[in-house]
């Protein structure tokens, strides 16, 4: 299987959606911002929610396996709660707040 950066992005997105049990109708909120080949054997994929500074970074290997241990980075602290979420589905807001609190 020859993996492309697009494939790697989709694999990473699927892992994150499964990890958070995100329904099909809420997946559109999540965006693949970057997917790039690192060396010869794996991709780094940057995911996020459009309009928010939060980012997930996942590694996808050239065999199609996604490392379940991802990195989450946000300049927003979890203690700020749900203050920056307007017109965002509850599950998307909950995921971001949980990730912000966990770091």
Provide the b/e sequence for 47-71 (b: ≥16 CB within 10 Å).
bbbeebebbbbbbbebeeebeeebe
Q: What is the pLDDT of residues 63-88, one digit of tens each?
A: 999 999 999 999 987 777 677 787 89
Assess whether pLDDT exceeds 70 at residue 1: no
**Would you place residue 8 in the very low, low, confident or very high pLDDT band (cuts 50, 70, 90)?**
very high
pLDDT tens for 27-59 read 999 999 999 999 889 999 999 999 999 999 999
Note the pTM of the prediction, 2 decimals: 0.90
């Amino acid at each position: 299987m020859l993996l492309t950066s697009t494939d790697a992005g989709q694999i990473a997105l699927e892992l994150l959606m499964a990890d958070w049990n995100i329904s099909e109708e809420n997946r559109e909120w999540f965006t693949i911002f970057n997917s790039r080949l690192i060396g010869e054997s794996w991709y780094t994929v940057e995911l996020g929610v459009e309009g928010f500074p939060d980012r997930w970074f996942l590694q996808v290997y050239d065999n199609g396996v996604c490392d379940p241990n991802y990195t989450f980075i946000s300049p927003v602290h979890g203690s700020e709660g749900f203050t920056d979420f307007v017109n965002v589905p509850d599950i998307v807001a909950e995921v971001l707040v949980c990730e912000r609190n966990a770091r």
